[in-house]
Amino acid sequence: MWANLPIGLPYSASFKKYHINHHRYMGGDGLDVYIPTGVEDSFFCRPLRKVLWLFLQLLLYALRPLVVNSKPVSRLELMNAVVQFAVNFLIFYVWGLKPIVYLIAGSILLDHDFRSTNHYISAEFYDSLPQHNSWTRVVSDFVLDGSLGPYARIKREYELKGQLALPVR
């Protein structure tokens, strides 16, 4: 929770339970909350709507767990929200709105170097894979290519047996 404070939005307690399921059921519709919904796919299918989706992606990503594979809110999540909003209020009370906007905007616009991390750790596995050399080309292809959309992802089917989900082979 301490590390969550500079982000401005309470998500540290929720992140773990959904992120673990993302890795456990990667690409599974209704199980992996990182996969956009069918509603997102059918609405954000034209170039201007795709641009809107790109701008709303983090908001949709944050709200998707309420619709897809939702889980009950825990005490830790409530405590995370109370602590985060108390700190936000204190910052607002002492310094005004500008630092709050700075923290939240910085969190939204934050960019990690995860794309190249794998290459440095084990280049022998990644050097032979296809890759893009232009981030702007990837984004423009996504927006302009009618065959691409939020739902154009690698998906897997899982068989649910009790609480255990097994990949269908």
pLDDT-based confidence at residue 24 (cuts at 50, 70, 90):
confident
Of 9-23, 36-50, 131-145, least confident by mean pLDDT is: 9-23
Main-chain dihedrals φ then ψ at residue 63, nearest 5 degrees: -90, -20
pLDDT at res. 70: 87
135/163 Cα distance (integer angstroms): 39
Q: Given a cut of 70, is residue 161 above it in pLDDT? A: no
Per-residue model confidence as pLDDT tens digits over 40-99: 989 999 999 999 999 888 788 878 888 888 889 999 999 999 999 999 999 999 999 999
Counting the structural domains of the chain, the total is: 1
In the predicted model, what is the mean pLDDT of the chain?
A: 84
**CA distance linking residue 41 with residue 65, whole number of Å:** 16
Looking at residue 111, what is its pLDDT? 56
Phi and psi torsions of 36, nearest 5°? -60, 150
pLDDT of residue 98: 94
Residue of 26, 7, 1, 52 lying closest to 154 (CA atoms):
26
For the entire predicted model, the pTM comes to 0.68
**DSSP E strand stretches across the chain:** 158-161, 164-167
What integer pLDDT is reported at residue 160 of this predicted model? 72
* Per-position DSSP letters for 80-148, written without gaps between them: HHHHHHHHHHHHHHHH-HHHHHHHHHHHHH----HHHHHHHH-HHHHTTS---S-HHHHHHHHHH-TT-
Q: Average pLDDT, stretch 17-23? A: 86
Query: What's the domain range around 87?
Result: 5-167
**Cα 61–Cα 31–Cα 114 angle in degrees, nearest 5:** 50
